[in-house]
Amino acid sequence: MKQKFMLGLALVLSSGWFSHTAFAQNSMNSNHWHWLGFPIFAPITNANPLIRLPLLVQVPTQLKLERTTDLLSVGVDNENGLEATNLMVGTNMVTGVQSELYVHPVGEPRPVSGNGAGLASGLHFNLGTHFLHIKPDGLPLPGVKYVVEMDLTVFETDKPAGHRWSPQGKNYKVLWRRTLKQVVE
């Protein structure tokens, strides 16, 4: 019985993928990436945001900052300062993490637009490292202390992750938010 179910599921998913890929490649409204062979994946058919299950997740409590005379690197510290939190996640929903970085001199207001963003599927906060360099970014300036803030969002969606992923949609839901904030000299 289990083999028949898995085979049926594989057939349904593959037929949806192929038909959606063909549509994207033949559509006059397709964007540039779909013409290059990156498919648009349909929402997960058996995802159910109404049936919630608990999930224990390790979330970060601090940033990992390194500063030299002309470079500032910013990332999430996934080795130190993690804490456990419980989330309620919809059945078969895709989870992901999004970040937005803001860097500004101490005493000045937080800028409206950020200095970088990150997006990853899963719940591991593997968002990479943001590098800010004095020549293209105008910071870090010598002798200036900076406030570094990173807004983190954990979400669920029924849209599978892929190239040029845009997880927002009808079944997108924020599950957890936190702003990590540190001063760097």
Omega before residue 140 within 30° of 0, cis: yes
Q: CA-to-CA distance for 18 and 23, rounded, in angstroms?
A: 9
**136 in the same domain as 57:** yes
- Give me the number of domains the chain comprises: 2
With CA atoms as reference, report the closest residue to 44 among 80, 79, 16, 78. Answer: 16
**101 in the same domain as 180:** yes
**90 in the same domain as 2:** no
**87 in the same domain as 9:** no
**85 in the same domain as 143:** yes
**61 in the same domain as 6:** no
Q: How confident is the model at residue 41 (pLDDT cuts 50, 70, 90)?
A: confident
| pTM of the entire predicted model | 0.77
**57 in the same domain as 36:** no
Lowest mean pLDDT among 11-15, 19-23, 37-41: 19-23
pLDDT tens by residue, 129-159? 999 999 999 999 999 999 999 999 999 999 9
In DSSP terms, 75 is beta-bridged to 64
**130 in the same domain as 87:** yes
**70 in the same domain as 19:** no
Q: What is the CATH number of the domain that holds 96?
A: 2.60.40
Name the residue range of residue 68's domain.
46-184
**126 in the same domain as 80:** yes
